[in-house]
Structure 1
Amino acid sequence: MRTHGGILPQLSGVLFFPVTPFSPTGDLNLPVLRKHLEDGLSAGPGGVFAACGTGEFHSLGPAESAQVVETAVQVVAGQVPVFAGAGGQVSVAVEQARAAARAGADGLLLMPPYLVEGPPRGLARYVETVAAATDLPVIVYHRGNARFDPESAATIAELPSVIGLKEGIGDVELMTRIISSVRTTLDGSDKSFHFFNGLPTAEVTVPAYAGLGVHLYSSAVFCFAPEVALRFHHAVTTQDVKLVQRLLDTFFVPLVALRSKVPGYAVSLVKAGVRLRGLDVGGVRPPLVDPTPEHLEELRRIIEESSSGDSPFIAADQDTRQH
């Protein structure tokens, strides 16, 4: 499914952001990564985003990131698009972008630059520099210190290979202005540009962002409870408002409440959830911390209640899977 010239890989359904497994000594565990990817693919995601936020991008060296992406491309084997994480220092981001292209990735998710805060025009230059390193389509992550304003968002939207913006700030007013600016700027052109909801546990904000016309979203829950993630997506796409509200009230909101107790739990809980479902993906690397025994038990309860035989979340029917 290799793409060229900024052509958008077809993304739909639930987007899978796999964790990066580590061995007891803290090294990459590629055999377990293959199993994790195979399990996720069998559930039917619409795309795979390897070595990104949920995959502890911040803790991977360039060689490790390349190995993760290569493994994802091999396992996915063209079934769905594979996007690779790139970011941090601009020179490292360029290196990661080129490595992803060599590995056969279908696109890049460009993460925020490291530490420093630049003005919006500087962020636009950062995106332009990395995008120019390959011909891969680029989705830019609007999050943390990579905070675009409407003008800079429109500027990067005009770059030939930049195909989307992933929203991770949570400022609905700003996002509305950005969407309007990009839409106005691209009006009359034949370029498609896509917005993604990339907030932690994005399902909680899916109804709000759908009102802005933002329908694609990342799902960390898909890593450890794909039946829940697929059920929710099906309820959203079929406008089953009652089921959406029930899933939010009984699964996603309790998960967010637990996630909010400790910084970094947006990743740590996901990895713990994968372990609880039977695949030993190891713990998280510093500066993240693994859940406490108390919080692990709370996560176990949330998962078990969502997977019980009389639960409305139990395995989605085949026709709810998104390919």
Structure 2
Amino acid sequence: MTVKRKSPTGILGFPTAPFNEKGNIDEQALAANITFLMDSGISSIFIACGSGEFHALNKAEYQKMIEVAVAVTNQQIPVYAGVGGSIAEAVELVSLSADLGVDGYLILPPYLIEGEQDGLYNYYKTILCKSDLNAILYQRDNAVLQPPTLKRLLDEFPQIVGVKDGYGNMELNMELTQTIGNRVEWLNGMPFAEITMPAYKGIGFNSYSSAISNYLPHISQLYFNALLEGNDQLANEIYLDVLLPINHIRKQRKGYAVSLIKAGMNIIGLPVENSVRPPCVPVEKDHFEQLRNIIEKTLEKYPTQKKEVTKS
């Protein structure tokens, strides 16, 4: 368990919640998912978050997912757990995940209610007071902190090491990064973050959560390196050949942000079925075949290469 006040950087791994034929968490498939991400050089594991269907897990399943992640990573890379929902549930999950040995947590939006800034401040404060583990705040949906509120939290809680943006207000992001600077790591958490990373990188976001790393990790790394190195031609080619076509499929149905990941994993041979819990829907046959075609063409043009990747 780390006490270092530093957020994971680079490409962040978000495993899925694989289910077996009985609809229960498939521990072996989850372990394979995490191992695959680690072998690809991912910097960290964020378990039981959005891609892990946090919204659909019961407490026992949540605990099991964290136990598998902590065991498989074996302190080689940091593990962050998703916490959120109702304030009572969030506080309970912070204590549970800390007891299970995570390195930190990602605070997801509160359940349903859109609060005032004072309400959001108190929501985060209540959670942060329960643990001094590293914490990352998530800007999205009904939880968007304005500069004064975020600065207040940062002044009071040194364990806040990162801010993840899934909201997409670039004017707000620009103000935050320019006034707060490197006090925290700025993480791009937009749906299919690779799509928007060129814009985010330009204002100080140097890390992102990658859904396609669950099935095309070398593409995410190749693309990320191209952005870092200023190789605009390669970045644009990958964008047009791979990212944009996959994103077109993702936008066909609500919930594909989760289920399309599992479909991609299934296509490349990982033991994960195209199965999600309501209200998400599984990927339809036509879309599944479209994704298969994109993946096959991608692997042909951009073959997998074994490469050491620096972990943060």
| 1:187 counterpart residue number | none
Separation of aligned partners in 2, 1:287 and 1:164: 29
Residue identity (%):
35
SS for the counterpart of 1:247 is helix
| 1:178 counterpart residue number | 176
SS for the counterpart of 1:87 is strand
Amino acid at match of 1:275: N
1:303 correspondence with 2:295: yes
Q: CA deviation at 1:246?
A: 0.5
Q: CA deviation at 1:61?
A: 1.5
Separation of aligned partners in 1, 2:64 and 2:92: 13
| 1:42 counterpart residue number | 39
1:61 correspondence with 2:61: no
| 1:322 counterpart residue number | 310
Separation of aligned partners in 1, 2:141 and 2:303: 35
Q: CA deviation at 1:10?
A: 5.5
1:106 correspondence with 2:103: yes
SS for the counterpart of 2:187 is strand
Q: CA deviation at 1:13?
A: 2.7
| 2:14 counterpart residue number | 17
Q: Which moved more, 1:151-160 or 1:263-272?
A: 151-160
The size of the alignment, in residue pairs, is 309
Structural RMSD (CA):
1.4
Query: Any idea what the Cα deviations from partners look like across 1:178-209, whole Å, max 9, x if unmatched?
Result: 223434xxxxxxx8311100001101111101
Separation of aligned partners in 1, 2:270 and 2:161: 34
Separation of aligned partners in 2, 1:193 and 1:212: 14
| 1:130 counterpart residue number | 127
Gaps (5+ residues) in structure 2? Answer: none
Relative to 1, partners in 2 of residues 1:107 and 1:212: Cα closer, same or farther, differing over 3 Å?
same
Aligned 8 A contact 2:32 2:271 in 1: no
Q: How does 1:129-168 map to 2 (within 5 A)?
A: 129-158=126-155, 159-168=157-166
The match for 1:274 among 240, 257, 265 is 265
Q: Which moved more, 1:58-67 or 1:288-297?
A: 58-67
Query: Any idea what the Cα deviations from partners look like across 1:265-298, whole Å, max 9, x if unmatched?
Result: 1111011111111123231100000011011111
Q: Which moved more, 1:272-281 or 1:99-108?
A: 272-281
1:217 correspondence with 2:208: yes
Query: Any idea what the Cα deviations from partners look like across 1:145-194, whole Å, max 9, x if unmatched?
Result: 111112212122222221111000111011112223434xxxxxxx8311
Aligned 8 A contact 2:164 2:189 in 1: yes
With structure 2 as the length reference, what TM-score do the two structures score?
0.95
Amino acid at match of 1:3: T
SS for the counterpart of 1:208 is helix
Query: Any idea what the Cα deviations from partners look like across 1:97-135, whole Å, max 9, x if unmatched?
Result: 111111111110000001111112211111111111112
SS for the counterpart of 2:110 is coil
Separation of aligned partners in 2, 1:265 and 1:209: 23
